[in-house]
Structures are given as C-alpha cells and as structure tokens.
A and B are shown apart, each in its own frame.
Chain A
Amino acid sequence: MKNISLNIDGKNIKTVERKTVLNVARENGIYIPTLCYHPRTKQAGKCRICVVEVKGLPGLRVSCSLEAKDGMEVLTNTGRIIETRKMIVELYLSSGRHNCISCEGSGTCELQDAAYHLGIEKSSFPNMTKDIPIDTSSPMIIRDMNKCIQCYRCIAGCNDIAVNEVLDMGFRSSRMTVVCDTNKPMGKSSCVICGECVQLCPTGALTERKSATKGRDWETGKIKTTCPYCGVGCQMYLHVRDNEIIKVTGAEDTAPNYGSLCIKGRFGYDFVHSHERLRSPLLRKNGEFAEVSWEDALDFTAKKLLEIKKNHGPESIVGIGCARTTNENNYVMMKFMRAVIGTNNVDHCART
C-alpha cells in the first residue's frame, strides 16, 4: 500500500492509502462525531454528522465515506461544519423521544455524546414523536423505536455480521422503521436473540431487558473474560456493579469473536447469582444433607478417601474432571488423582 500524507486541521499526517478521512482523523486523536458509522458495520453514509470540509471540493463531505488522498487538506470544525452538525443532531432529537433521564443507553449513547460535544441542551425544532409502542415481546431485548435514529447499524449487524437476516427497514417516508421479519414483534419473529443489534445500537433504541435499572454504564466495572458456554471461546466483558454481573457485551477488539456473542453468552449470565447456588459444604447424615464447615467436609472426605485407598487400593478410586472449569483446576485435579491417590483413573466428559 502506498504512503500518503494529508493535512487535517493544520496537522500534517502520514498514513497509507485506502483509508477513510474519518479513520485517519480518529487514529490521530481528532474527534469527528458519528452516529451511523461503526468499525464493525463500516461506513453507511446515513447520518451525515461526520461532515468535513476539503479544500478544492465543493460543499461538505461525509468523512466516513471519503477516501483519504495524498495532499488532501481537511478541516473538521469550521463554523459551517458545526452549524450543520448541530442541525442534524437537533433534527434527530426532535424526531424521537430522546429523553436521557432513565434511558438505558445513557452513558454509551452516541447521540447523547454528539449533543454534549455540540453543546445542545434541547432541539430548536418541534418534537415529532409518534409515540410508537415499545416492543417488549422478546424475553431479552427491549425495542423502543421512539429512540431509533435509522442508522442501519442493527440491520447491518443482523444481516452482514450475524447473518440471521431478521431485521430490515420497512415502510416508506415518514413511516419508515426497522422491522423484524414482516413487521412482527421481535419475540414472535425469527430472531435468535444473539443481541448483535443491541451491541451495535448507538442510542437506547435497543437495550438489554435484564439490565434495565441495574446500573449506569459509568457505575460498572468491566472485566474481560472468556465465555463459559461452548468451545468457540468468545471474549466478552462482564459489567459488574456491587458484586453482581448486570450485563455482558462482546469484546470487539479480539479474536475469535470480535464482538459477536450468542444468546447464551450474552444473556445466560445470571445463573451466577442464582439463589440455588451451593453456598456451604453439605454432608449426608442419616439420609439428609446437613450444612457443615469446610474443615468437617474436607476432613471427612480425606479420611474416607484414605480409608478406601488403604482397604481397596488406589484403583478403586476414580475422578471425573470438568470440561467447564479452567486449565489450572483441571491440572490440579489430574495431579491429585495421580500424585495423591496414585491412580490414572481420571477422565472427563470429552468422550461423552
């Protein structure tokens, strides 16, 4: 790829060809707001908030769809650009019910961010809210189309990334809206609830049902870990508040999943906090289980194992490890069976 150099806001930048002006600017710490663009769904050229001026080119140019060329001179924050962006954001704000007070998107909302950066308190246009009923038919996802800005990111995610082909744009003109299948409620559609759309949504139009009111984004710690379900090994963030996982999102910058998850990985986390979790060692006494201390449980178990080993030999003891737990735990298990019990009778469900 050829090296090129261009100038953005007076800053000389060296880069390579086949990049958009937006990407070059972002790589060099220059903020250009976007709403429809996402690194995973690529340019859409819908929202037009990322406009810039380019010397020698007429009008304003959409930076997410404009290829950076050698010698280009780009301005990202002239008065004309700011006025245009303000108008776009104000039109968006007036087109729906963008009330941040208890919106689950607040804190991660890109429309909120754009309004904040442009200093917009409220839209100067009359509100055109259509009061579309909120779709709560899905057990995992809440769809509030009053907050949709028609950026097409959910549609691209559903069709081009997860390839479930459920979401599309339906109807025309002012009635245009994102639909599931043939305009079915999400819970009655062919949606497989992977949540790709939720993760890509720039506003609070698509949110996680189970996370509602559990905590603001800035109140949560995000811990990167590996999904505990199948063998794909998706990387994800556990969003934790007060020792409770309240949400899971896919890690977008790492193999193997680059942000995608399935219903189990994204929504199957609350078993961790189930009231049915075992909390204490239990010992069977006279046919009933009784809570005992770790000391008692471990003493009993070790004594019994030693007794069986002595009376019947190490080969009378078997261990089944666990394909769900970590390498470290599995290693310690096989070491225990071999070095402490003295048998190779150790296996796990790989064969079952």
Chain B
Amino acid sequence: MTNSIGEIENSPVIFIIGSNTTETHPVIANSMKRAAKRGSRLIIADPRKIDLTRWATRHYQHKVGSDIALLNSVMYEIIKNEWHDREFIKKYTEGFDELEKTVSEYPPERVFEICGIPADDIRELAMILGMAERVALYYTLGITEHITGTDNVKTCANLQMLLGNIGKEYTGVNPLRGQNNVQGACDMGVLPDVFTDYQKVSNPVVRENFARAWSVESLPDMEGTKIPAMFDGMLHGDIRALYLVGENVIMSEPNQSHTIKALEQLDLLIVQDIFFNETAKYAHVILPAACFAETEGTFTNTERRIQRVRKAVEPPGQAKEDWWIISELAKRMGYAMGYTLTEQIWEEIRKLTPSMSGITYERIEREGIQWPCPDLNHAGTCYLYCDNVFPCGKAKFQPAQWKPAAEVPDSEYPFVLTTGRRLWHYHTGTQTRRSAGFDDVFPEELIEVNGKDAGKLDIKNGDHIWVVSRRGRVRVKTWVTSRVSPGLCFMTFHFHEACANVLTNNAFDPVAGTAEYKVCAVRLEKEE
C-alpha cells in the first residue's frame, strides 16, 4: 500500500476494485464500514455482489476482466470534463499525452459493450471520483490475477495520478496483500530478479555488495525463473529439483493436472512444511517445519509495517524453524551461515536493505514500524511519495489497452468461472480445516450460480453438479445466489474435495507471471 490502514476511516472517498474486503481482509473492511457509517463514500466496482456492497454508496457490477476498459472510460470522462489535476500532472508526471490518446478510444457507450455497465453509470462513477477532493483506491487479486494483471495495476495508478491522488493522506494506490507476509517475502528478495529492497540482480554493484556480505566470490547475474516457467521447465526436463518451502502448489497453482505432471518429472522434490499436504505426496524428502507460534522473527503487513512474531510454544516432535533447516543444508553443501538467533539474521538484513536500516527488534518491541525507515532516528513512513518525490523522478503514466481474457466463454463452455476466498477458510485449507469449528461453519465447497442460469439448467440450490473446464472437472454443491450475475460462477480453492484450481487456466501475465485465476470458461453439468 502507498498509504496506511489508519487513514481508511477518514478517507472521504474509498474506491474498491477487485477486492472482496469483508471476507479476505475483514479487519480492514471494518475500517471501510466505519468510514461509510461516518459519511464517507464507499464506491465498489466488482463483478460480484460482495458483502461490502451492503455499506456501499454505489456498486458497479462490471464483467470479469473488463477493468482496464472501465477505468480507461472513467479517465476518458474525467479528462473530458476537466476534472483531472492539471497542476499535479504538469509538475510531477510525464506521459499525459499518451494517456489522453489511449483513453480517448474508450467512450462510455463503447465500453458498455465490454464491461456491461451503462454509459450513464460510467459517467456517474467518473463524476464521483473526478469531483472528490481525495480518493483512496484499494484493490486485491481481482485486479492482479489476469493475463493483463500488470496493465490493470498500471491503469489503477494512471487513474490516481490523473486525479493527483498520490503522495497525500487519504489517497493512494493500495493493494491489500493476501497473505501475512507476502509483502515481506517480496521485500526480502524471494523473487527471481531482485535481492532485498528490490535491488536488481542485474546490477553488478548490487551483486558485489551482496557477494562481499555473504563471503562468496560471485553471485549469478542472470534473472531466474518465475513460478509458471518453473513448472514448464520441469515438464521440459530443464528443471530437476524443487525446494518447496510452505506452499501447497497442487492446490494453489492453476491447472492442477499440469502441476502434478510437472512435479512427477522431478529428480528431487523437497517439501518443507508443517503438514503432510496434497503436494507432499509427490516429495522425495519431507522436512517438518515450525509454524508462526513456534518461531521468533518478523512479518511485514500490507501497509509495509514490520512487526514482531514471537515464539509462544515449542514445535511438535522434531520440527525445526525454517532458517535452521536451510542453514543445516547449506552447511552440508559447504557454506556456513552461522546463525544462532533470528535477530542475527535481521541485523544482516538491515545492513543490506537501505529502506529497513532503521528498524531493529528493540524499536518494534511494542509496535511495528513502516518502511522506508532508513536510519535509527527515522519514525517510519505512513504514506509514500510525500511532497511528490518519486524514486524514478517524475511519475510516468503508462496507458494500457484492454484485451479479453485468455479464455472466454463459447458454446461448449458457456460460463465464466472466477475464483477467490471465503471468510470461513484460508487458501488451501491446511490451517483452517485443521482448526475446530471452521468446517462446522462452512463444511464444503459451494459454487455460486445465478438463479436465472440455475433455472435454465434445472439446478436447485444445494444440488451437486459437475463443473467442467478444458483442464478438468469437479463435483460441487450449488449455491443459487444473486451474488453473481447471469453467466458468472464463483468457486474457491479451500477444499481438496472440489478445488477450483483443477479447472483454472494457467495462462499468465507476461510481465508479472501471475496466472489468470479470475477467468476461465466452464460448463455446468447436472449430476445424472
């Protein structure tokens, strides 16, 4: 997030696109609901009638995968009505002309055909956003999990730059990160192209710095492989070993049969986890890990706040902390890491990570600090780009063209399936399904189907049906509901008994490598 959770409650206009916030980030949703009760405008663009719409001023139910068209059209109207922040654009940005040219191709009447929102509603949305003093934009995976995910994010940024909604309180481009430490894992450089702090592996100075700190002669300069290409590499035989730490890929990766085929090719699959999950079956060796309550360390939340994690109980049996296991492997491969405490690791991170240099365990004993925090006297940063200072100089508009999803419905597979999470479970269910009471609240997967579609197919609420895509089929119970519009269905990947990722498409965004979990084509078959 460019801005902070604490600002939400006082934001005059909150624009949420592609985030089912009450179910995926419930405590942030509380702030949004409180804001709405106090009079803020809560504006939602989402293909589903998510629970948060109960508190919304307006809900624009656009078609899945039409975000760029919708936002470009909103920008078309904003520019046409001169609601854009000319001063901000002139002083702090570049590329406005290209943006204007691109969005000029998106008049609301045309965009209605793409996104299904009437032209007047698009104009209304543009007016609400364009005339507001400040707008804070929030998104989640509804924006990113598309083959155009990168362009979707850029388009959100374009909109906020156009309105000068950046570098100030109650504004910003605010992705709500889905997992407790997905922000931290990125910050730590668990990515194929960067070290910590997004320092590029292609930069020789950076490599030399890390090589010196780690006492190695040199470090590889070639950008590594992203997850989708890893699985393709296994199928082609280029990749022979996978070290998998805490990820249940069989359930969480799209197109399950493709994932299974890839894992079966490996000479060595190391699974380091807390449970014998669905993926562990394919392992050659399984290493038992300690969980969050059994380890010291830090997590970084969605607002860049580095917070302490503390050991409360002993790990079961012989389970060990991840860093211990990895260090022991390193030792046996001829490299001594020499850690005995997590604080030593943090101190090393701090030295190599300029934006976190000022954060110590002692300083975050009571409350976390938000990076950037470059020195010990720095209080941390609530919102980025204060005074409109951008790391790249001027902020650059990066206009994007809408294009359809990789797989669109046809006569054989006439429905769009979109996927996500529910409040009652988490991801592949490894934790919530092993905690008492959760399966009582929500015991099995439900596919959301609109009443009109159910009527046509003669499916009743609670019937079990087969959902079939080009990649697989699952048997699942039906929830006939107006949460989805006709033609759209929704499932999750919480239940191995009926996992949406058997069906999902593994086409991915060419830049980010994010798969298109949010769109695939399916057909619904009545059970005979």
In contact, B297 and A233 (Cβ under 8 angstroms) = no
In contact, A139 and B437 (Cβ under 8 angstroms) = yes
For the complex, is B192 an interface residue (Cβ under 8 Å from A)? yes
Given A289-B286, A329-B322, A348-B227, 16 further pairs, Cβ under 8 A: A163-B36, A231-B176, A231-B179, A235-B307, A245-B293, A271-B291, A271-B435, A280-B317, A297-B287, A304-B285, A316-B241, A319-B244, A322-B185, A326-B309, A332-B339, A347-B191
In contact, B245 and A320 (Cβ under 8 angstroms) = yes
B219 to chain A: closest residue by CB: A338
In contact, A227 and B180 (Cβ under 8 angstroms) = yes
Chain B residues numbered 174-195 whose CB sits less than 8 Å from any CB in chain A:
176-193, 195
Nearest Cβ distance between residue B327 and chain A, in whole angstroms?
Answer: 7
For the complex, is B289 an interface residue (Cβ under 8 Å from A)? yes
A57 to B279, CA, bound (A): 72
Closest 9 CB pairs of A and B: A279-B317, A233-B301, A326-B297, A344-B224, A322-B246, A231-B177, A302-B332, A163-B33, A278-B288
The tally of residues in A whose CB lies under 8 Å from a CB in B reads 110
For the complex, is A109 an interface residue (Cβ under 8 Å from B)? no
| A271-B432, A323-B179, A349-B179 given; A318·B230 CB < 8 A | yes
A162 to B311, CA, bound (A): 29
In contact, B286 and A325 (Cβ under 8 angstroms) = no
A322 to chain B: closest residue by CB: B246
* Residues on the A chain within 8 Å of B177, using CB: 230-231
| A269-B293, A320-B243, A327-B299 given; A231·B438 CB < 8 A | no
* Residues on the A chain within 8 Å of B247, using CB: 320, 322, 348-349
Chain B residues numbered 239-259 whose CB sits less than 8 Å from any CB in chain A:
239-247, 249, 252-254
A349 to B138, CA, bound (A): 20
In contact, A342 and B180 (Cβ under 8 angstroms) = no
Nearest Cβ distance between residue B42 and chain A, in whole angstroms?
Answer: 11
In contact, B302 and A233 (Cβ under 8 angstroms) = yes
In contact, B275 and A274 (Cβ under 8 angstroms) = yes
A43 to B292, CA, bound (A): 37
In contact, A262 and B26 (Cβ under 8 angstroms) = yes
Mask of B310-344 contacts with A, CB within 8 angstroms, 1/0: 11111011111111011111101111010100100
For the complex, is B386 an interface residue (Cβ under 8 Å from A)? no
In contact, B321 and A329 (Cβ under 8 angstroms) = yes
Nearest Cβ distance between residue B293 and chain A, in whole angstroms?
Answer: 5
| A232-B28, A302-B332, A347-B230 given; A284·B297 CB < 8 A | no
For the complex, is B27 an interface residue (Cβ under 8 Å from A)? yes
For the complex, is A281 an interface residue (Cβ under 8 Å from B)? yes
Nearest Cβ distance between residue B264 and chain A, in whole angstroms?
Answer: 13
| A233-B368, A245-B312, A352-B252 given; A328·B515 CB < 8 A | no
In contact, B241 and A281 (Cβ under 8 angstroms) = no
A204 to B349, CA, bound (A): 46
A310 to B482, CA, bound (A): 58
In contact, B240 and A328 (Cβ under 8 angstroms) = no
In contact, A298 and B239 (Cβ under 8 angstroms) = no
For the complex, is A84 an interface residue (Cβ under 8 Å from B)? no
For the complex, is A125 an interface residue (Cβ under 8 Å from B)? no
A334 to B106, CA, bound (A): 43
Can you pick out 12 interface pairs between chain A and chain B where the beta carbons lie within 8 Å of each other? A226-B308, A229-B179, A232-B25, A232-B27, A257-B27, A323-B181, A325-B322, A329-B245, A329-B321, A332-B339, A344-B220, A346-B224
* Residues on the B chain within 8 Å of A54, using CB: none
Chain B residues numbered 190-209 whose CB sits less than 8 Å from any CB in chain A:
190-193, 195-196, 201
A146 to B46, CA, bound (A): 44
Nearest Cβ distance between residue B299 and chain A, in whole angstroms?
Answer: 5
Identify which of A230, A255, A306 contacts B178 (C-beta below 8 A): A230
| A272-B313, A327-B297 given; A228·B431 CB < 8 A | yes
| A305-B268, A316-B240, A350-B182 given; A334·B195 CB < 8 A | yes
B275 to chain A: closest residue by CB: A276
A25 to B443, CA, bound (A): 50
A82 to B240, CA, bound (A): 78
Identify which of B33, B275, B325, B426 contacts A277 (C-beta below 8 A): B275
A210 to B437, CA, bound (A): 9
In contact, A232 and B301 (Cβ under 8 angstroms) = yes
Tell me which of A65-73, A167-175, A236-244 binds B. Answer: A236-244
For the complex, is A2 an interface residue (Cβ under 8 Å from B)? no
A225 to chain B: closest residue by CB: B310
Nearest Cβ distance between residue B197 and chain A, in whole angstroms?
Answer: 11
* Residues on the A chain within 8 Å of B55, using CB: 163
* Residues on the A chain within 8 Å of B176, using CB: 231-232
A329 to B296, CA, bound (A): 10
For the complex, is A193 an interface residue (Cβ under 8 Å from B)? yes
Chain B residues numbered 502-520 whose CB sits less than 8 Å from any CB in chain A:
508, 512-515, 517
For the complex, is A270 an interface residue (Cβ under 8 Å from B)? yes
| A257-B27, A347-B227 given; A294·B328 CB < 8 A | yes
B180 to chain A: closest residue by CB: A228
Nearest Cβ distance between residue A326 and chain B, in whole angstroms?
Answer: 3
For the complex, is A343 an interface residue (Cβ under 8 Å from B)? yes
For the complex, is B225 an interface residue (Cβ under 8 Å from A)? yes
For the complex, is A209 an interface residue (Cβ under 8 Å from B)? yes
A227 to chain B: closest residue by CB: B180
For the complex, is A31 an interface residue (Cβ under 8 Å from B)? no
* Residues on the B chain within 8 Å of A254, using CB: 366-368
A232 to B227, CA, bound (A): 25
For the complex, is A118 an interface residue (Cβ under 8 Å from B)? no
In contact, A284 and B34 (Cβ under 8 angstroms) = no
| A274-B434, A279-B316, A327-B306 given; A318·B5 CB < 8 A | no
In contact, B368 and A284 (Cβ under 8 angstroms) = no
